[in-house]
Structure 1
Amino acid sequence: MSSSPTPETTGPQAARPTAVVTGASSGIGAATAEALAGEGYRVVCAARRADRVQALADRIDGVPAACDVTDPASVAALAEVAGSPVHVLVNNAGGAFGADPIESADPEQWRAMYEVNVLGTLHVTQALLPALRASGDGLVVNVGSTAGRIAYEGGAGYTAAKHGTQVLTETLRLELCGEPIRVSEVAPGMVRTDEFGLVRFGGDADRAAEVYAGVPDPLVADDVAQAIAWIATRPSHVNIDELVIRPRAQAAQHKVHRLS
């Protein structure tokens, strides 16, 4: 990556610290971009859907970056857009595909989940570590899941991928110990967003809605975004290793209060 500033890092935006948020086209990613912009960051909004990140960037005075985190060349282009230094990286891009038992699970769906949740996080982190170091006070926040902490029927592919996210985060923190980079994971429980369930169940809106049926006040994207913004605004010597966040109605993966 060139050390010279890119066009996006010159002018009025150059005075603001830079945050990069992947998966910013909707849900937690879009809400996080807005929350960090509210804290004074120049936010590079990265996602595959260029039209959505352009609209988001326009709204928050950020920088759009069409990016597929599973494609190293696309991630390299994201690093060029972000420039250097980068102060905050939020690896939010991820997803769940399918909910079949192991006996009948589609290996291609498992491969896709590993590609985006684990290798995508790896690609982006590798590409931006030099710019995070250059900040002298960097932060990496990986968006994991409570699925990265416990198994449940029909979720083996997703839980395996999110366990991977968790272990990647823990290992990165060990490997960067002594450097000016903090490493955190935010692990949400039940978060109701417009697209997560629809993607997981192949567009079946009824099946997606069943997950939240009767649950009073599941989390929403902004709840998670505010937690990420809180981590980003802690003093430099304070590292939030992990933050598990659930709605009050969810005591555990299998213990959910539902109204009759």
Structure 2
Amino acid sequence: MTQIDRLPTEITTPESHQTALVTGGNSGIGFAVARQLLDRGATVWIGARDIDKGRRAAAELGPSVRVVHLDVTDATSVAAAAIQIGELDILINNAGVNPGGEDITGTDIEQLRVAYETNVFGLIAVTQAMLPALRRSAHPRIVNVSSGTGSLTWNSGANPQFDWERVQGGGIAYRSSKTAVNAVTLLTAQALGADVKVNALAPGRRQTNLVAGATGGGDPAEAATGVLRLALLPDNGPTGALWSWDGTLVPW
């Protein structure tokens, strides 16, 4: 749906009283997104499955942040969060899990269920619950944090930055769930029209808790800046695309 291949580097400042929800906002990329939105004057809710972790994150972010208990896999929790938040301009679907697993020959079906329950079904449930509020916004934005490992084009060997021969077919639970997120992003953008900007972000490998014991990876704040580009798009900005953290277009 987009007709450009690079986002502008300049990030706008949110209008006064703009409100954002960051799911999984108590750590990693979500925490960094919340901090950067707060720095730009937005009202920020961080959604946390573990409310105690959410409160600890809020204490670090400062008194202006708000915390809501939000388990994206629980319909009651999602509905209650939508009521508590009320008005909303920006939805950052950041909550995600990587249950591990190998290729199709060595992955348990339960690992697939876990990945899809949070990464796909949870994302859709939160989006649906927040849509009434977003439709009331003058500048509604939805950003789905996805992954370059969900790009079918890149998985076919078209990205020389990744050693696909080494990981070919691996991580089927996580990677296929992010492919589904990319599809959901495109179809949501088509359904909602140009007034609601809906985009996905490939944040790159980051030092987060997504993979237990993982080492390496870049600063989550760098990926968060990529999220902000999409969360604060001007009204003539693109919709229905997958973008890299550096602002370049990623093929489906």
Task: State whether TM-score is above 0.5.
Answer: yes
The yes-or-no answer on 1:128 pairing with 2:130 is yes
What is the Cα deviation at residue 38 of structure 1?
1.1
Equivalent in the alignment of 1:155: 171
- TM score, norm. by length of structure 2: 0.80
Equivalent AA in structure 2 for residue 182 of structure 1: K
| The one of 63, 80, 103 aligned to 1:77 | 80
Give deviations 1:115-164, integer Å, cap 9, x for gaps.
00000100000000010010121000000001111443321111110000
Give deviations 1:149-196, integer Å, cap 9, x for gaps.
144332111111000000000000111114x21111111221122x11
Conserved 8 A contact 1:136-1:181: no
Structure 1 or 2, whichever has the larger Rg, is 1
Aligned to 1:78, the other structure's residue is in SS state: helix
Give deviations 1:3-58, integer Å, cap 9, x for gaps.
xxxxxxxxxxxx62110000112101111111111111111100112122113334
Question: What is the percent sequence identity of the aligned residues?
Answer: 35
CA distance, structure 1, for counterparts of residue 18 and residue 65 of structure 2: 12
Conserved 8 A contact 1:39-1:229: no
Aligned to 2:105, the other structure's residue is in SS state: helix
Give deviations 1:95-118, integer Å, cap 9, x for gaps.
111132311211111100000000
| The one of 196, 214, 219 aligned to 1:181 | 196
CA distance, structure 2, for counterparts of residue 24 and residue 234 of structure 1: 20
Gaps of 5+ in 2: 1-15, 156-167, 247-252
CA distance, structure 2, for counterparts of residue 56 and residue 134 of structure 1: 29
How big is the alpha-carbon RMSD for the aligned residues of Structure 1 and Structure 2? 1.6
CA distance, structure 2, for counterparts of residue 167 and residue 69 of structure 1: 19
Gaps of 5+ in 1: 1-14, 199-204, 213-217, 247-260
| The one of 151, 169, 185 aligned to 2:185 | 169
Equivalent AA in structure 2 for residue 118 of structure 1: V
What is the Cα deviation at residue 74 of structure 1?
0.4
Higher RCO by CA contacts (8 Å cutoff, separation 6 or greater): 2
Equivalent in the alignment of 1:257: none
Q: How many residues align?
A: 214
